Each structure stands twice: as C-alpha cells, then as structure tokens.
Structure 1
C-alpha cells in the first residue's frame, strides 16, 4: 500500500509535470515548435535545467506529450459536435464533423501544425505508440457518421479497406483545405466559402454512392 508521503510526492510530481506541459503549450501557441525548449520552460518555472530533465529526460518525451494533448483536444471538439447519441439527420451529422474540425484548427493553428506538419529536428514519434493511439481516437470519432452512412460500425471501418479508403479520401478532401487556410495560403480568397462548397459537394457525392456489403 502506498504511504501518505508517497502519495503526496506522486501527486506533486504529476502536478509539476502538468505545469511543464502547460508552459510548453503556452510557448507553442506563442511561437510555434521552435519556441519550445526544456531550458526555456525551466527558466519560466524557476527550475534548473537538470531538475526538469528528471520529469522529461528529453525534448522528444515532451513533444510526444504535446502531440497527444493537442490531438485529444481536437477529439473532444469533434465529440462535442458529433455526440454518439445524435438524433439529427445523417447529412447534418456528416457536416458537423468537418465544421468542428475547421473551427478547432483555426483557433489552434500551432497545435494543428504540430499534429500534422511540423517536423521537429531529432524527433521521432514512438512507433505504434501514444501519438498513433491519439490520432486513431480522433479519426474514430470523425468516422462515426461516415460509417453509419456506409452501414457499418465505426469499429469495423478498419476491417473494410474499401470503406476505410473512402473515409480517408473524404477526410483528406477537407483536411487539405483546412491546412491551406491555417497556414494563410487562402488569405487571398474566401476560404470559408471554398470549404463549405467542397464539404457539401463531398456529402452529395457520398449520398449517391450505394452502400456495399
């Protein structure tokens, strides 16, 4: 059984780890990935550099934690827009996902780029690890209405390569536009109009494709 002192130390350690990640997130939002450094976080929290390494031995572990936290934030935004018990018509549920995806990305630009685009020198995500699991959770939520349209359970989507490829193509069709908008490549046009036209056209096409068993 864990002693009271041991429980307190563990609680304090977890609180300090959360504080380190919170400060890393603040730096990420302020200046992107290049602004995130263990030494900078240590200075902001009044810690020595050696002390912070006892919590995160390298920047790799910290970046991994940031990616998971950012991806989970996107997942929660999607869950809020696409609850499991949703009485809305299927076309409205299918539209809600991309809209929530875009809204989250535009209000979390640095986090979006960290998840999908930023290449951190020397960083490699753990193969088959927590970042993969976090992205799978996010895609599972996004895939819920799509799977319903195709007449399968979301859990079964990966077992059907034809459905999975369709889903990834659908996701990519609006993810690419969101990425362009997040990084200001569509500032010279009306990105919202383009996005809505693409998503609605995609939904129209999906509705015309017959279910396959």
Structure 2
C-alpha cells in the first residue's frame, strides 16, 4: 500500500469514527427518529451526498451504529468478566449478568435500538452476527458453569419436546454449542429470564413501581443462581 493510499485510508477511518460518534450523540440526545443522514451531515459540517460516500442508505448508517453499539456492549461485558478469576465460571457468569444490566440502564437509547426494538428478520448478516455475539458470550460462560456444577433446569409449563425445539432455535441463532438438550433448555430459560429482566428495566417499567436500584433484577439473578446450583459466594461478583 502506497503512502498516499495509506493516508487516504487513515482519513477515511477517522471520518468513520467521527460519524459513529456524532450518530450516537444524536441518538442519545434527540432519539432514534432524529438520526437521519441530513442530521448527521449537519453536525459533521458535510453535505448529505458526502455522507453517502460512506453509507449508501439510511439503513446502512443505522446498521453501522447498531454494530458499533453491540461491539461496545460486548467489550464492556468482557472487561467486567475478566476482572474475575478465569477458573471461576460461576462468578464470571454473575459478573457478566450485572455488567449487561449496568450498561443497558446507563445507555438506554443505544440498548433499545440495538436489542429491544430489533427486527432480526430484516437484518443483514453483519448485524445478526453482532446481535448474536452478546448471547453467545453468555453461552460460552454458561457452558463452563454447566460442566462445573452439573446444573439442570426445565421450562415450567412447557412440554419438554417443545422446550427442546425452542432451545435449539435459540442456540442456532446464537451459534452456541451445548452438550445436551437439557443444557440447551436450561440456558434458554436462564437467558430469556435474564435478558427479559434487563429489557423491562431499560424500558423504565420497574421504576414505575419504585425499583430504582435494580432490586428486581437482583432477585431474579439470585433465583437463577440457585436454580443452577451456584455457590452463594458467586453472587458477590461484579457488584
């Protein structure tokens, strides 16, 4: 690569980073409806055709913002998890869970755009992969928990065959290899309860009833830890 080509690439990369920063500032300060090509161009001091040199449609811009958000979220969870002993799967799972909740309530517009109001059937492959990586991160930790504690769980009120079919679909979407249908159902139950609780809190529904500190999330997390047979000490992780 020539020096001029390298320089052009550095300029392009710097502009892309600024485009993401400006787009997310518009998202967080004005809402998703305000995040348009024209608005980004105005904040960047560019013309709309100049933005189209980087993103050929509004959808492509939104997809890039979603991927940027999910990469940041995954990195945040991974960083919090790495503060725990790598051999202690239970504490790593609890720390990752608390990190997911903490990031979501501190970045509500981003979390809702990327994971709450998602339309997976319309996503391109890169966006689907970015969304799947969050669940897959938890799936990898769960695999170690399953092997270490021999956890077992079922989905109450659902026939086991139906539970397995639903679990298989989730694992296929998240690209998570688990050793048995029992493990798949247990992970599905845990993931949907955990992720669902975070979504509910990010929407502000728990604050309506006076929960401003995540007490309901903590109760759910404690219940899931007991279901998986985790030691009580694991619940101290990531506080």
Partner of 2:205: 185
2: distance between equivalents of 1:80 and 1:10? 29
Report matched runs for 1:137-148 at 5 Å.
Answer: 137-148=133-144
Number of corresponding residues: 202
After TM superposition, the score normalised by the length of structure 2 is 0.76
124, 127, 152: which one aligns with 2:122: 124
Deviation at residue 205 of structure 1 after TM alignment: 0.9
RMSD over aligned Cα, in angstroms? 2.6
The unaligned stretches of length 5 or more in structure 2 are 149-174, 231-239
By how many angstroms is 1:147 displaced?
Answer: 0.7
Q: Which residue of 1 aligns with 2:228?
A: 206
How far did residue 101 of structure 1 move?
0.7
Correspondence for 1:211: none
| Counterpart position of 2:130 | 134
Q: Aligned ranges for residues 152-171 of structure 1 at < 5 Å?
A: 157=177, 160-171=180-191
Deviation at 1:88, TM superposition (A): 6.4
TM-score by length of 1: 0.84
Unaligned runs of 5+ in 1: 209-213
Q: Which residue of 2 aligns with 1:34?
A: 33
Query: In the alignment, which residue of structure 1 is the partner of 2:167?
Result: none
Describe the SS at the equivalent of 1:186.
helix
Answer whether contact 2:146 2:183 (CA < 8 A) is retained: yes
Residue 65 in 1 paired to residue 64 in 2? yes
Cα shift at 1:137 = 2.4
Q: Measured at CA, do residues 160 and 33 of structure 1 come closer, stay the same or move farther in structure 2, by a change above 3 Å?
A: farther
Alpha-carbon distance in 2 for matches of 1:118, 1:156: 23
Partner of 2:193: 173
Superposed CA deviations along residues 18-48 of structure 1, whole A, max 9, x for unmatched, are 2111111111111221120111110111111
